[in-house]
A = this chain, B = another copy of it.
Amino acid sequence: MTALTEGLQDYLEAILLCERKHRFVRTKHLAERLRVKSPSVHTAVKELTRLELVEHESYGHIELTPEGRKEAESVYSKHKVLYHFFAETLGLPDALAEETACGIEHHLDDKTIGKITRLLDFIERKAKEDPEFDAELKKVLEHD
């Protein structure tokens, strides 16, 4: 359990995702994704560098260290489970599912995420096996 603030976890996650999109991660990309200004990114990246979770040379690109990547992946894996829950299971609009997953991902530990994952798998299996279950579930969740 690293003592990373929520904010720094968000930066790590954003770096991971930018990596997949842009190959070289830059301040600008993180600023856009996180909707902050570049000096805020700079401050955060400096702190992550101090913590040896990223490497960053001045005016250069930003890279995750192995530990930083591990941390980023842990956050992102939680995000994916939660997004799935809100978007697929509950049927929230995409943007709301994203936003909600972002807001809460830092507050759930690994075991809790594991349990949620298994619960969702179970529900999905049941829905696939049993059309009546599926229909009832949809009914229950259909209205706002």
Which residues of A does B touch, CB under 8 Å?
86, 89-92, 96, 100, 103-104, 106-109, 111-112, 114-116, 118-119, 121-123, 126, 133, 136-137, 140-141, 144
Does A90 lie within 8 Å of B104, measured CB to CB? Answer: no
Is the CB–CB distance between A119 and B86 below 8 Å? no
CA separation between A104 and B119, bound complex, in Å?
19
Cα separation A140 to B126 with both chains bound (whole Å): 12
Residues on B with beta carbons closer than 8 Å to the beta carbon of A103: 104, 106-107
- Looking at chain A's contact residues, the main secondary structure is helix
Return 11 A-B CB contacts under 8 Å, by A number: A90-B119, A91-B115, A92-B112, A92-B115, A96-B112, A103-B106, A118-B140, A118-B141, A122-B137, A123-B123, A126-B133
Q: Determine the distance from Cα of A133 to Cα of B129 in the docked complex, in whole angstroms.
A: 12
